[in-house]
Amino acid sequence: IEKTVVAINGDGIGREIVEAARRVVDKAVVKDNIVICWAEHKAGGEAIDAYGKPLPQSTIDACKKAEAVLLGAVGGPKWDSVAPAIRPEKAILGLRKELGLFCNLRPVRIFKALQEYSPLKPELVQDVDFVIVRELTGGIYFGERSEASGEGPNEKAWDKETYHRYEIERIIDIAIDTAKKRKGKVTSVDKANVLASSRLWRTVAQEKATANSAVTFDYLYVDNTAMQLVVNPGQFDVIVTTNLFGDILSDEGAVVSGSLGLLPSASIGTGTALYEPIHGSAPDIAGKGIANPLGTILSAAMMCRYSLGASKAADAIEAAVEAALTAGYRTGDIYKDGMKRVNTEGMTEAVLQYI
């Protein structure tokens, strides 16, 4: 079966890491009798250079028609002075809107071979394997706001947090589905002791919990969650939360794992899903062929599992990454003495050999 995937390299190390992931996917999907038809389209800085805007209509149209989108990263110093309305990051926001991507999934797991990279004690990170499900198109980031106005001590600015029932229901549903395929536990995170929007969030989560007895629910305040993530991260399976809280907690989760270059993400919703590593375009190492491709390769594994119906490929890619790390292959960002130092190409070959 042929499946069309849009590949958006983007900027900086984007091309290097997306090409690496494509090679791995092409080899792995054979296990599911799938052939990928890759369609390259531009977004971010590369699209500003080519078309004068970060998200051309041709890219949007191609993404809408495809089975999935694999993206490297966008942005870089070259475009720091362009007008705010056409900044490279607008491409990501635009894609989220055009594709209806209201949910961001960020798995955080710690590969055994990399446990020492976590800033937490080894005994704390052994069992770390959770997913943060972040609401992506609502809440305070999309609410009304008012820039600073007034004078002196009375100068003020405000931002408004709104959640509709339907927005909460659909994100909790995704958390439940995700938990069913994992350890069966959902932790719903809010600030219901203070915020009205959080009280609606908790009410809806509790209703969903009652209706889905196959999954256990836990309710935590966001401040406590921030603490629990470093004190006992092994307790979590699926964490579901608002746009703002999820932004902060997912960065904390990334730090717990200790290796930014390795973490994948998926944005899903009503249209085509988008897969990308959590790191940026790393302009400082772009063009050198030394970027760590594993975050993109693991994002591609999620793509195989959730969008392409290629679960054998997904399992094979994840196992191959684990095997390559266990065998000691390390790109510069995760290198330690005594390990096998490789560049992007070398790491890709290492993963390919275990597929």
DSSP three-state, residue 198:
helix
Cβ at position 90, least distance to ligand NAI in Å = 11
Contact between 15 and ligand NAI per CB under 6 A? no
Contact between 291 and ligand NAI per CB under 6 A? yes
Write down the residue that tokens 């020492």 correspond to. Answer: 116
Tokens encoding 107: 């798995």
Cβ at position 117, least distance to ligand NAI in Å = 13
State which of residues 20, 66, 229, 282 lies at the interface with ligand NAI (CB under 6 A).
282
State which of residues 187, 242, 292, 299 lies at the interface with ligand NAI (CB under 6 A).
292
User: Is 251 annotated in the active site?
Assistant: yes
Buried b (16+ CB within 10 A) or exposed e, 32-67: bebebebbebbbbbbbbeeeebbbbeebbebbeebb
DSSP H helices, 152-241, are 165-180, 196-211, 222-231
Active-site annotation holder among 49, 61, 159, 223: 223
Residue 60 CA from chain centroid, whole number? 20
Cβ at position 33, least distance to ligand NAI in Å = 31
Contact between 73 and ligand NAI per CB under 6 A? yes
Contact between 347 and ligand NAI per CB under 6 A? no
Residue 253 annotated as lining a ligand binding site: no
Closest CB to ligand NAI among residues 56, 280: 280
CA distance 75 to 43: 10
Count the helices and strands in the chain (H runs, E runs): 12, 14
Partners of 264 in the β-ladder: 277
DSSP three-state, residue 41:
coil
Contact between 167 and Mg ion per CB under 5 A? no
State which of residues 32, 247, 276, 318 lies at the interface with Mg ion (CB under 5 A).
247
Evaluate the CA torsion angle 296, 22, 93, 243 in order and state its sign. Answer: negative
User: Is 223 annotated in the active site?
Assistant: yes
State which of residues 34, 63, 92, 192 lies at the interface with ligand NAI (CB under 6 A).
92
Cβ at position 16, least distance to ligand NAI in Å = 9
Residue 282 annotated as lining a ligand binding site: yes
Cβ at position 287, least distance to ligand NAI in Å = 12
Select from 112-120, 121-129, 244-252, 328-336 the region that touches Mg ion (CB under 5 A): 244-252
Closest CB to ligand NAI among residues 61, 284: 284
Residues 246-275 that bind ligand NAI (CB under 6 A): 260-261
Active-site annotation holder among 32, 191, 306, 329: 191
DSSP three-state, residue 46:
helix
Cβ burial, residue 297 (10 Å; 0-12/13-18/19+): buried
Name the DSSP letter for residue 261: G
CA distance 122 to 118: 8
For residue 242, give the nearest of 279, 194, 179, 197 by alpha carbon: 197
State which of residues 127, 173, 207, 333 lies at the interface with ligand NAI (CB under 6 A).
333
Give the residue numbers of the binding site for Mg(2+): 223, 247, 251
Note the residues at the interface with Mg ion (CB under 5 A): 247
Positions annotated as catalytic residues are 141, 191, 223, 247, 251
